[in-house]
Amino acid sequence: MSPASVNGQPAEGLDGITIAELVARQGLPGRGIAVARNGEVVPRSSWSTVTVESGDTIDIVTAVAGG
Amino acid sequence: MTTTAPRGTAPAAPAPTAGTRERPDDPFVIAGEELPSRLILGTGGMRSLDELRGALVASGTSMATVAVRRVGPGGPGGLLALLDELGIRVLPNTAGCGTAAEALLTARLAREAFGTSWVKVEVIADDDTLLPDAIELIDAATALVDEGFTVLAYTNDDPILASRLEQAGCAAVMPLGAPIGTGLGIRNPHNIELITSRISVPVILDAGIGTASDACLAMELGCAGVLAASAVTRAQHPALMARALADAVSGGRAAARAGRIPRRHLAEASSPDAGRVTPLDPPPGGGTVR
């Protein structure tokens, strides 16, 4: 199984950690970001229970300047 | 010289009459929420956060758009903090989405990230025109309204499509004046006027604004507001252009409410004909009277 990818980059050693841990490892603030796992939004209330598995596609987004 | 005011007393200001008093403007309301400014600023294209701050302040805007993108290596940056500090409402957009499915995911992520169910829905057909894909747009707007979003729909200058979006439950429709970033102004003023006359939700002119007169015209055509991004962020002096657009929106709104005169083909004198003074008849021999 391929490793999970985070924002398009393969990331080793994430299997089994929670979304909350992933966000913390990336040094991201809790506010102003959102996380999708395999194209589905992971609500903030589930960050501490949903885990990253092999092959997952994780996207972490925020606000950028845009029209 | 005579005066009716006693010496040493300033003459009283004339009492306002119904004909001269300015009527207060209606509030600008979207989905039951009042916005203090009819100018919405897009943040895309700004060269720095400092420049953006200057433009936001000068524009007097109360709402600004942001795009949703993957977090970069430097973290989220200071955009949200800046808007928060200035008390400006965040309006996330779905810029860059080409399908309804992409727009849905982006809107859901935005709601989660920014705690707002307001979204400017854009579904773009291709990168050369950045024109809305009408079919995907209707699908996305309908689904997002069903999910409880307050949808502001970026759309073509097509009165029928605008009506369809209103029927789908959009809180505002945002027809383009011209393609995004072109600064070509309002290419089809007749269609924009048709949209504003047939739609009861707020119509916000979006895209194509190049300079102040474009924003003024939008308001004169009956738009409830204007969204400008590139016109400000790519101007040589963004803060000055932001101020100019704010003044133009204000002037255009007042003009729309004031009721312009009908257009005529031939001149109509505004000075009375009666009482004109005419010269003596010319002297015999056809000499010129000086």
Express each pLDDT in B17-66 by its tens digit.
555 567 788 899 999 999 999 999 999 988 899 999 999 999 999 999 99
Query: How many structural domains are present in chain A?
Result: 1
Asked if the Cβ–Cβ distance from B70 to A39 is below 8 Å, we say: no
DSSP β-bridge partners for residue A64: B67
Statement: residue B4 has pLDDT above 50: no
Q: pLDDT at residue B233 above 80? A: yes
Instruction: Measure A52 CA to nearest chain B CA, in Å.
Output: 18
Q: For chain A, what's the residue count? A: 67
CA–CA separation, B281 vs B118, rounded Å? 75
- CA–chain centroid gap for B221, Å, is 10
User: Are B124 and B134 in contact, with CB atoms under 8 Å apart?
Assistant: no
Nearest by CB to residue A67, choosing from B44, B90, B108, is B44
Split at pLDDT 50, 70, 90, the class of B288 is: low
Q: Does A61 touch chain B (CB under 8 A)?
A: yes
Please state the length of chain B: 290
HSE on the CB side for B184, CA within 13 Å? 11
* Residue for token pair 């955009």: B79
pLDDT of amino acid A38: 95
Q: Which residue range is the domain that position A21 belongs to?
A: 4-62
Residue A39 vs residues A22, B11, B109: alpha-carbon distances, Å: 17, 72, 10
CATH number at residue A39: 3.10.20.30
Task: Tell me if A66 and B44 make a contact (CB, 8 A cut-off).
Answer: yes
Residue-wise pLDDT for B179-195, tens only, equals 999 999 999 999 999 99
Look at residue A67 and tell me if it is in a domain: no
Whether B9 shows a pLDDT value over 60: the answer reads no
Residue A66 has φ and ψ, to the nearest 5°, of -165, 145
Tell whether the model's pLDDT for residue B121 goes beyond 50: yes
Q: Phi, psi at residue A41, to the nearest 5°?
A: -65, 135
Residue B70 in contact with partner chain A when CB distance is under 8 A: yes
Instruction: Kindly tell me the sign of the dihedral angle through the C-alpha atoms of A42, B63, A63, B78.
Output: negative
Q: What is the pLDDT of residues B90-120, one digit of tens each?
A: 999 999 999 999 999 999 999 999 999 999 9
Task: Enumerate residues 101 to 130 of chain B having a beta carbon within 8 A of any beta carbon in chain A.
Answer: 105, 108-110, 112-114
Confidence at residue B8, expressed as pLDDT on a 0 to 100 scale? 45
- Only one residue has tokens 């000055």, namely B240
- ipTM value for the complex: 0.94
List the single residue in B with minimal CA-CA distance to A60: B70
Question: Which secondary structure element, helix H or strand E, spans residue B192, and what is its range?
Answer: helix B189-198
Q: Which residues contact B32 (CB under 8 A, 6 or more apart)?
A: none
A–B interface: beta-carbon pairs under 8 A: 99
Q: Which residues of chain A have pLDDT under 70?
A: 1
For B80, which of A39, A44, A63 is closest by C-beta distance? A63
The answer to whether the beta carbons of residues B121 and B153 sit under 8 Å apart is yes
Residue B6 has pLDDT above 50, yes or no: no
pTM of structure: 0.87
Q: B248: burial class by Cβ within 10 Å (0-12, 13-18, 19+)?
A: buried
- The answer to whether residue A12 is domain-embedded is yes
- Measured distance CA(A17)–CA(A13) in Å, rounded: 9
- Does B42 contact A at CB distance below 8 Å? yes
| Structural domain includes residue A27 | yes
Residue B246 pLDDT > 70: yes
Q: Inform me whether the C-beta atom of residue A64 falls under 8 Å from chain B C-beta atoms.
A: yes
Using CA atoms, how far apart are residues B24 and B36, in angstroms rounded to an integer? 13
Which residues lie closer than 8 Å to B121 by C-beta, 6 or more apart? B93, B94, B103, B107, B137, B140, B141, B144, B151, B152, B153, B154
Q: How many CB atoms lie within 10 A of CB B264?
A: 7
List the catalytic residues of B. 120
pLDDT of residue B72: 86
Query: Taking all residues of chain B, what is their mean pLDDT, rounded to a whole number?
Result: 91
- C-alpha B63/C-alpha B171 separation (Å) is 15
Q: In this complex, do B67 and A39 lie within 8 Å of one another by their Cβ atoms? A: no
* Half-sphere exposure (Cβ direction) of B74: Cα atoms closer than 13 Å: 5
Q: Are B95 and A7 within 8 A, CB to CB? A: no
